[in-house]
Structure 1
Amino acid sequence: MFRRIFSFLLLVWALGFAAFAMLLPQPADDTRTDGVVVVTGAGGRIERGVEALQQGWSKKLLVSGVDSEVKPEELAAEYDIPMRLMDCCITLGYEAVDTRSNAAESATWVRQQKLKSIRLVTSDWHMRRAAHDLSLTLDSNVEVVRDAVPSEPKLSMLFLEYHKFLIGHAAQWLNLWRS
């Protein structure tokens, strides 16, 4: 009996990992939102968020998880962002250090800005966990458009991310998740 249960759970885990690894989230279309939240980390994320502003898909941008030593002028120079855009429309969030604190920082910003819809920008392999954590901290009436930045993650990265994703869901299920 124990072997059957273990075999069944192993099969579910393996199929889940295969689906997780092969069906990575995709970039969003030009859907308009009130704001953009970019979770810092892998390349292409900030560029995608700035593109959303420049294309008029959103009017405001939060870059969550910025290193405390980064100044707005430095970010503007690094990513070729006009200072007028930095001054009017981009907020640098310095509080977050991980995905859960990105979610908390983002939810606070969304409430402060009174936004009803956001575009969440992060890497394809990170999108499911980032969106899950954000859903636990945002007000339920806020619409989230998932805008995944394509990447080529290594199998080891997907393996680790899958388990973090599962742990996050288990923590929520067991009522251990705290924002």
Structure 2
Amino acid sequence: MIRRVISLAILVWAIGFLWFVVALPKPAEGLTKTDAVIVLTGGPGRIARGLVVLDEKLADKLLVSGVDPEVRPGEFAAEFGVSPRQMACCVTLGYTAVDTRSNAAETAKWVAQNEVRSLRLVTTDWHMRRAAGELDRMLPDHVTVIRDAVPSQPELKTLFLEYHKLIASRAAGLADL
């Protein structure tokens, strides 16, 4: 009996991992406009994608969550080619987040302060499910979230680690209920 339970658990894990790897989230389709775009730092192409969304007027405001405290707005603007006018009106650098859960907390606080009712979440494809799940737990139900994954070529090690973080995140979410 115990062998069957262990075998079933291994099979469920393997099928889940296969699904996780084969069905990575994709970039958002269409030109849906949102109040804001939220970029979680940590992977290549994320900030660039958020700035494209802002430049194409698909969002009015941008929060970059998880910025290193040593990065000054002027340095950020110079590195990513953001004009002073755009930095002043539309870009917020969030310095409090250090992981995915605190990205969600930082985002939820900023969303409430800015009366955001719809947002576009930008993060890497392999990170999207967990980031969106954490954000869904923190945001009020009336806030619409569009997932806009940045495609990547992750290593197997990255996928393996992220799959287990996703499982732990979902388990923690169930424990919170």
Q: 1: CA distance between counterparts of 2:25 and 2:105?
A: 22
Partner in structure 1 of residue 20 of structure 2: 20
Deviation for aligned residue 1:98: 0.4
SS at match of 2:49: helix
The CA deviation string for residues 98-122 of structure 1, in whole angstroms up to 9 with x for no partner, is 0000000000000111011000000
Q: Which residue type is aligned with residue 152 of structure 1?
A: Q
Quote how far apart the aligned CAs of 1:79 are. 0.7
Distance 2:43 2:84 in 1: 23
| Separation (CA, whole Å) in 1 of partners of 2:86 and 2:176 | 41
Superposition pairs for residues 123-138 of structure 1, below 5 Å? 123-138=124-139
Structure 1 Cα separation of the partners of residues 66 and 146 of structure 2: 20
Q: Distance in 2 between matches of 1:128 and 1:86?
A: 29
- Structure 1 gaps of 5+ residues are none
Residues 114-142 of structure 1, C-alpha deviations (whole Å, 9 max, x = no match): 01100000000000000000011001110
Residue 34 of structure 2 aligns to a residue whose secondary structure is coil
Q: 2:176, 2:77 → 1: CA distance?
A: 41
Task: Say what the alpha-carbon RMSD is for the aligned residues.
Answer: 0.9
Q: Alignment partner of 2:71: what SS?
A: coil
Equivalent residue for 1:32? 33
Q: After superposition, what is the alpha-carbon deviation per residue over 1:41-74, rounded to whole angstroms, capped at 9, x for unaligned?
A: 0110000000001001000000000011111111
Residue identity in the other structure for 1:76 = A
Match of 1:56, SS state, is coil
**Paired residue for 1:9?**
9
Q: Which amino acid aligns with 2:26?
A: Q
1:161 and 2:162 aligned: yes
Partner amino acid for 1:13? W
Paired residues, number: 176
CA distance in 2 between counterparts of 1:84 and 1:15 reads 49
Alignment of 1:95-174 (within 5 A): 95-174=96-175
TM-fit CA distance, 1:174:
2.0
Indicate the residue corresponding to 2:42 in structure 1.
41
Residue type matched to 1:104 in 2?
A
Bigger drift between 141-150 and 26-35 goes to 26-35
SS at match of 1:70: coil
Give the TM-score normalised by structure 2: 0.97
Letter in 2 for 1:110: V
Q: TM-score, normalised by structure 1?
A: 0.96
Tell me the percent identity: 57
Give the drift of 1:175: 2.3
